[in-house]
Amino acid sequence: MPGIKGRFAKLKNFRVKLSLHRGQEEEEESQPLPPPPIPKGLKIIKKYPLYEPFAHVVVAQNPKTGEYKYFLDELSLDPLERSIYDRVLNILLAEIESPREEIKDTRRFFATVAKDIVDKYRISLGWLPDVSWYKILYHAERDLVGFGKIDALMRDPNIEDISCDGVNKPVYIWHRKFESIESNLKFKEDTELDNMVVKLVHMAGKHVSSAFPIVDASLPGKHRLAVCYRREITPFGTAFTIRKFREDPYSIIDLIDLGTLSEEMAAYFWLCLEHRASIMVLGGTAAGKTTALNALACLIKPGSKIITIEETAELNLSHENWVSLIARRSYGLGENRTGEVTLFDLVKTSMRHRPDVLIVGEIRGNESYVLFQAMATGHGGLSTMHAEDIDSAVKRLTQKPMDIAPAYIPLMNIVLSVQRVHLKIDGETKAVRRILESNEVADYEDYRNVTKWKPSQDEHSCTIDKGVMLPHISERTDQTEKQLEKEVERRAHVLHWMREENIRSYRDVAAIIAEYYARPDSFFQRIQIREAKAIATAARS
């Protein structure tokens, strides 16, 4: 049988309907892929492929209510294909051997090995046309090394979250354009849903059972999985939520392009991080805290030793000298906490590794005390916290379980507030993330606002000369405040140049920042020369 990959081009945009009659194949002419059956009264807004030719999506809207619905159209197996598929699964599970070396691309490995095994048993399994074998191998890959029934959703780059509230309840997704919408996907039986969730948890290297019904873990690809298992703590059956992780994380340039912050703001944070300032990002659920934190971390000076501490792995840094520490739940029952490694333990341990910068994914308990102690000894620190603004954040920090002394609050130099807001862009109302304000902490209850977002113009204003960071940096270096302001302008120019040159990948951005750190003057001159040549070329044309 020809390789799966080699036949994708021939199958693209075609649906083949097959039927068997007295052992003979009756194959219809290949037709353009029709959309999935959409209920009457709904208007198709958008359709796009997820994994051609096997999975496609249609987003439709109810004109009366304005509600959107997400329709997944996936090639299914007919009864004959299903019976052979079940036998193929048993053969694959028995025949596939564990690789001796670590496999980077498990799907590619599986596709190659599965094809060879199926080729060996194909004649004995019964006659099927090639297209049926492609469908069988697609479903085998989906169910054995993929994410099962939600595998196609995991392939959709427009989806941020996938959530299921129980049996016979529609799976909901958070779409980047249409926000929270209902899908046509459902789990009709407890067994089907439970088995898929157990598989996901095992993929994450964790355990779930009636004794341990709550799981918070990272799937392959760093997607975050939260599970409530069976009916132990929810009456509707197993519930899960997956927060998808971008393969190509947002860089600081991406956030500037999206309007989350301005070039001047990014340049200011860049300068502050170089001088080991501590930054805390505030916001609600799905406001973009971790995304902003990850983008800011790209501005840290190359060569700095960075230690990140998280409950589940979400951060993705480009630095070589980076240690990632992940908390671990206990193995015991009840009050027995055997084997548990908490965020508090990790923050304490990290201090023995002599980090230059300590990044805590989210502070919520007594680990915050150790973080503030670390900042008191001169370590730079970045973190996120669930809070509306700096006042509510300080109230949380100074009360139990964090219990930070008011005298320690100024150790957190800069506090950002990021939120998801709705703006009318090009005639459409869209959900976007914006850093609403940035405050420097001069003292307990003395906060200096240095950036502010103006919703009417969708612009950010900066008054960094009125803060306390530039005077503080000036005291510790041989630069005046005016020179520091000039340096912020120059770095904003570098960021603007990266935007103009479409340098946006977080690794490419990190490489440019590393080059600027190494040779700031010569690098900036080179940019100016390139810009002058570009202007001259444009003038001649």
Q: In terms of Cα–Cα distance, which of 309, 443, 297 is closest to 374?
A: 309
541 Cβ contact list (under 8 Å, min separation 6): none
pLDDT at 35: 47
Say yes or no: do domains 152-243 and 252-533 share a fold. no
| Strand 459-462 with 446-454, pairing | antiparallel
CA dist list (Å): 471 to 466, 478, 479, 482: 10, 11, 10, 10
CA dist list (Å): 200 to 97, 141, 164, 196, 531: 21, 14, 13, 6, 51
- DSSP letter assigned to residue 30: P
- Chain segment 341-384, per-residue pLDDT in tens: 888 888 888 888 889 999 998 988 888 888 888 888 888 889 99
CA distance 461 to 437: 9
- Chain segment 389-424, per-residue pLDDT in tens: 999 999 999 998 898 999 999 999 999 999 999 888
* Interval 101-113 mean pLDDT: 83
Name the residue ranges covered by the structural domains of the chain: 4-136, 152-243, 252-533
pLDDT at 374: 85
Question: Which residues are registered as beta bridge partners of 414?
Answer: 279, 440
- Chain segment 440-454, per-residue pLDDT in tens: 999 999 999 999 999
pLDDT at 123: 82
- Concatenating the DSSP letter of every residue in 330-366 gives -SSSTT--TT-B-HHHHHHHHGGG--SEEEES---ST
CA distance 95 to 120: 11
* Interval 509-532 mean pLDDT: 90
- Chain segment 255-284, per-residue pLDDT in tens: 999 999 999 999 999 999 999 999 999 999
* Model confidence at 23: pLDDT above 80: no
pTM given for the model:
0.81
CA distance 317 to 246: 13
Q: Which CATH topology does 152-243 take?
A: Beta-Lactamase (3.30.450)
Q: In terms of Cα–Cα distance, which of 450, 515, 510, 490 is closest to 296?
A: 510
CA distance 411 to 381: 9
Task: Give me the sign of the Cα torsion angle 332, 334, 337, 343.
Answer: positive
φ, ψ of residue 451 to 5 degrees: the values are -140, 150
- Chain segment 283-300, per-residue pLDDT in tens: 998 899 999 999 999 999
pLDDT at 293: 94
Q: Could you give the percent of the chain with pLDDT greater than 70? A: 91
Q: Which CATH topology does 252-533 take?
A: Rossmann fold (3.40.50)
* Interval 421-434 mean pLDDT: 84
